[in-house]
């Protein structure tokens, strides 16, 4: 495959992986979002220890959804709007990506659409490293930093809950 | 299973269709919809019965624009396509999920308009089909996920019922 076509394939595959991850999050579909990640992916999120591999990521989301289910019938209604996305090749079989997403959330969703339009809760900056796996590209290193954050935002899991999952940051507990 | 470059061509073509659709709506270029939808496309919006056929889709938008002009409520919109996931099924079919933030200003002619919050966050679900003329949308569903209280319903049920029969 000529270099320019290979690069176009790489860029498009990385973009699709980011979109798959965000739509999977919003649909609360853990299997779907995990398809965007390499099995040995490492995910760094503000206020907690890195998640290592599909198992950690799955446990994290299961814990969040279980917690939401105790307080609301329908869980949070969330949409991650991906805006800027820049993908560049790095070392052989790897690519780097910087992306922004604006996050809208209704933590008290009553199950009826549409919900009232909230102010954006976050602007998140993602920094990802993708790894080529066969003919596709998967997220291998994923880091999310909050650039703008509403006062309405709250950590999804408490330090104790993160500790149970062995995901508390070193300074916690 | 699709080869990587075939998959990418489909993803790019379908993403471009969604960009073209949102730009056509903002530009009120209803004829552009002929190059975006198949002639027998199905088009579903929140709180409306499905529209059937490109002709009916164009009639809907034209009726809406005419109504707004008559009422003095015409406005400029800016549909910002954000998250866009395209899932090719095979070489001839694909589906997609996309989020669109819609901003609106009542002034059609003055730019820049005063900064405003998005009025709606819409989720599109689309089915795409390869045709002799390239990829086209064959089934489009738009669902309001978040909506401001400033939003007004575009057409009453009676107005929607007066649309021409499907082509």
- Given a cut of 90, is residue A154 above it in pLDDT? no
Question: Residues of A with CB below 8 A from B141's CB?
Answer: none
Which tens digit of pLDDT belongs to each residue from A2-14?
688 899 999 999 9
pLDDT given for residue A68 in this prediction = 86
Total residues belonging to chain A: 173
Give me the number of domains chain B comprises: 1
Instruction: Give every CB contact of residue B107 below 8 A, 6+ residues apart in sequence.
Output: B75, B76, B113
Please report residues of A whose CB lies closer than 8 A to that of B148: 116-117
User: Residue B90: which domain range?
Assistant: 4-161
CB proximity list for B64: less than 8 A, separation 6 or greater: B154, B155
Give the pLDDT confidence of A69-121 residue by residue, as tens digits: 888 888 899 999 999 999 999 999 999 999 999 999 999 899 999 999 999 99
CATH of region A3-164: 3.10.450.50
| Chain B nearest C-alpha distance from A156 (Å) | 21
Average pLDDT, chain A: 92
Q: List C-alpha distances in Å: A124 to A170, B31, B50, B158.
A: 23, 38, 36, 44
Length of chain B, in residues: 167
CB nearest to B83's CB, from A9, A22, A116 = A22
| Cβ contact, residue pair A23, B147, below 8 Å | no
Chain A contact set for B118 (CB, 8 A): 117
For chain B, 167 residues long, the average pLDDT of each consecutive 10-residue run is 90 97 96 96 89 95 90 90 98 98 88 89 98 97 92 65 48
Chain A residue at shortest CA distance from B10: A12
Task: Please indicate whether residue B97 or residue A65 has the higher confidence score (pLDDT).
Answer: B97
Domain ranges of chain A: 3-164
ipTM score here?
0.90
C-alpha span between A102 and A149 (Å, rounded): 10
Q: Is residue B167 part of a domain?
A: no
Q: Do B85 and A101 touch (CB under 8 A)?
A: no
Q: What whole-number distance in Å separates Cα of residue B93 and Cα of residue B7?
A: 11
Residues of B within an 8 Å Cβ radius of A:
3-5, 8, 11-12, 46, 80, 82-86, 97, 99, 101, 117-121, 123, 143-149
Query: Could you tell me where the DSSP H helices lie in chain B?
Result: 4-27, 54-71, 157-161
Chain B hits for A83, Cβ within 8 Å: 80, 82
> Residue B118's pLDDT is what?
94
Whether the per-residue pLDDT at A54 is higher than 90: the answer is: yes
Which residues on chain A are in Cβ contact (under 8 Å) with B80? 83
- Tell me which residue in B82, B121, B147 faces A82 most closely, judged by beta carbons: B82
* Best mutation target, A114, A123, A132, A134, to test chain B (most B CBs within 10 A): A114
Closest Cα of chain B to A46: distance in Å? 22
To the nearest whole angstrom, how far is the Cα of B167 from the nearest Cα of chain A?
30
Angle between helix axes B4-27 and A3-26 (nearest 10 degrees) is 60
Return the ∠ at Cα B159 (arms to B146 and B51), rounded to 5°: 65
| pLDDT value of position A171 | 63
Nearest residue to B89 via CA among B7, B5, B4 = B7
DSSP three-state, residue A152: coil
Residues of chain A neighbouring B119 (CB-CB closer than 8 A):
117
CATH number at residue B22: 3.10.450.50
Is B166 domain-assigned? no
Q: What is the chain A residue with the closest CA to B83? A: A82
Cα separation, B160 vs B139, in Å, equals 19
| Residue B88 within a domain | yes
């Amino acid at each position: 495959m000529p270099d320019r076509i290979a690069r176009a394939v790489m860029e498009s595959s990385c973009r699709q992986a980011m979109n798959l991850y965000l739509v999977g999050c919003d649909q609360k579909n853990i299997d779907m979002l995990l398809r965007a990640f390499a099995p040995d992916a490492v995910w760094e999120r503000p206020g907690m220890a890195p998640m290592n591999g599909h198992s950690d990521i799955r446990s994290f989301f299961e814990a969040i959804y279980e917690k939401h289910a105790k307080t609301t019938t329908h869980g949070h209604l969330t949409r991650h709007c991906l805006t800027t996305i820049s993908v560049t090749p790095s070392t052989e079989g790897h690519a780097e990506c910087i992306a922004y997403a604006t996050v809208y959330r209704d933590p008290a969703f009553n199950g009826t659409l549409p919900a009232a339009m909230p102010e954006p809760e976050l602007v998140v900056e993602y920094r990802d490293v993708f790894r080529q796996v066969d003919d596709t590209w998967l997220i291998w290193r994923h880091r999310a930093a909050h650039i703008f954050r509403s006062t309405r935002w709250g950590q999804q899991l408490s330090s104790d809950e993160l500790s149970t999952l062995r995901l508390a940051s070193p300074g916690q507990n | 299973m699709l080869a990587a470059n075939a998959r990418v061509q489909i993803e790019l073509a379908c993403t471009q269709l969604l960009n073209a659709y949102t730009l056509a709506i903002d530009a009120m270029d209803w004829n552009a919809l002929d190059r975006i939808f198949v002639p027998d496309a199905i088009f579903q919006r929140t709180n409306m019965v499905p529209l059937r056929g490109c002709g009916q889709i164009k009639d809907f938008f034209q009726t809406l624009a005419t109504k707004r002009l008559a009422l003095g409520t015409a406005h400029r919109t800016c549909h910002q396509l954000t998250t866009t996931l395209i899932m090719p099924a095979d070489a001839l079919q694909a589906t997609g999920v996309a989020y669109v933030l819609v901003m609106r200003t009542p002034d059609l002619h003055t730019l820049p308009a005063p900064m405003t919050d998005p009025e709606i966050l819409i989720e599109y679900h689309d089915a795409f089909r390869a045709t002799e003329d390239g990829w086209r949308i064959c089934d489009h569903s738009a669902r309001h996920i978040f909506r401001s209280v400033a939003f007004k319903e575009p057409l009453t049920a009676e107005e929607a019922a007066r649309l021409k029969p499907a082509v």
